[in-house]
Each structure stands twice: as C-alpha cells, then as structure tokens.
Amino acid sequence: MRERNSLSEKELTKMREERLKQQQVKSLEDWNPKTKLGKLVKEKKITDIDEALKHKILESEIVDSLLNLNSDILNIGQAKGKFGGGKRRAWRQTQKKTQEGNVATFACLTIVGNKDGYLGLGYGRAKETLPARAKALRFAKLNLTKIKRGCGSFDCICGEEHTVPFIVEGKCGSCRVKLMPAPQGTGLVIGDECKKILKAAGIKDVYSVTAGQVRTTINLGRACMDALSKTNEM
C-alpha cells in the first residue's frame, strides 16, 4: 500500500509539473511586455540572461524566455500535532481575528534554479494555497541571481565547478549559515531544506555550520541565499 501511495504521489507531482510547463508556454505566447527590457527580450534582441541581469527585472516572463528553470517548495509550515510535534508541510497558515470571524492566510517559500549557477528565492502570501505559490514563484524569478561555483577544497584538484569557491557566511535574523568547500564525492552536509537550495544552484558537495533558531525555515533559507550571494564578491 505504501509503494502504491508513493507511486501515486510521484505521478501527481509529474502531472503538476507538466501543467505548470504548459501554463508557462501559454503565458509566454500571450505575453505583452510592458517594460523596455521585456520588449527587447520579446523581440529577441537580448538572448543572454547575464545581459538581462544587468538591469532590474520587473517581469517574470523575461526569465522564463531566457532560462529553463526548475522550482521547489521549502517546508516552512507545520501541521497540528500532539505536544507541538506536527509534521512539516509547505504551507504556513496564519489567522487574523476580525468582526466577520477568523480570516486565514497561507504563505509559501519557493526556490527556482537551473542547476547551473542561477538561483532565486521568493516568498508569497495569499488567502489560498495556489495563489500563494504562484506569487512566490513570480517573486523568486524576479530575485534571480548568478552564483559562482568552483573547486575550492584543498583535498580536491579536479577543477570542476561542484562546490563553493571559498568559505562564505550568511545571516538572517538569528540564523547563521557557513558554507565551506568540500572535495568531490562528499555530498551536501547540511539540512534538508538547504539541500533543496544548493541542488537548485548546481552545488553537489559542501560542508556547513549552522547556528541560531534554524527551525525557522524562512530565515534559514534566506541566510543560505545570503551566503551563496557572497560568492560573487571575489
């Protein structure tokens, strides 16, 4: 029964990804750019994402037309459970007390990347789950950044881009994330949610040290992004 359930979940995720790709193709066909950069991309005068990143991107369709991105959702919420032991889930639900009653809102944290050095993180809130995910996905594409990779470990001389080039440290709130170069074959020695971020960036091996309230996934993900963005400083 468990194998059947797992297979059905995989099939559902594949169907969702196919639907998202079909929606992106339709949106690109019906896209009417409003900014100067969008018009240049639509006319195919700009075909390189590095050239587009020199300007401020205000339309997510610009990134869709220049890159083939994969998306994933970080587990920032928690289901109800006894003694606070609820299972982690993707949607973070909050409630607001009003005269009409309790008004629920859902939050989502989405990561996008092409597994080749381009990465974006977005946070979205809405009254329903799917609009929150769509909003987070759009913000993640607008926040796209280029990340440098390398072979910075003293134990490795392969010369391939599989880890961070040097030690970087990022912070957000009380969370601190320190990423250190690792030799090839080490893997990602870090928490599961940060693994999603590093895989989306194309990093295969890394050592890490985390500190602070790391159970706050939103701050932990932003601290990891802050550390990766510092790879461009050198």
Per-residue pLDDT tens, the chain, 234 aa: give them.
344 445 566 676 677 777 777 777 777 778 888 999 999 998 989 999 999 999 999 999 999 989 888 889 999 988 877 666 678 888 899 999 998 899 999 999 999 999 989 999 999 999 998 899 999 999 999 999 999 999 888 888 888 889 999 999 999 999 999 999 999 889 999 999 999 999 999 999 999 999 999 988 999 999 999 999 999 886
What pLDDT does residue 222 have?
94
Rounded to an integer, what distance in angstroms lies between the CA atom of residue 172 and that of residue 217? 11
Q: Which of these, 164, 153, 137, 173, lies nearest to 61 by C-alpha position?
A: 137
pLDDT at residue 7 in the model: 55
Amino acid (one-letter) located at 191: G
Predicted pLDDT of residue 22 = 77
Burial, 166: exposed, middle or buried (Cβ in 10 Å; 0-12, 13-18, 19+)?
A: middle
Which domains are present in the chain?
168-232 (3.30.230.10)
DSSP alpha helices (H): ranges in 95-213? 129-142, 192-201
**How many CA atoms within 13 Å lie on the side-chain side of 203?**
35
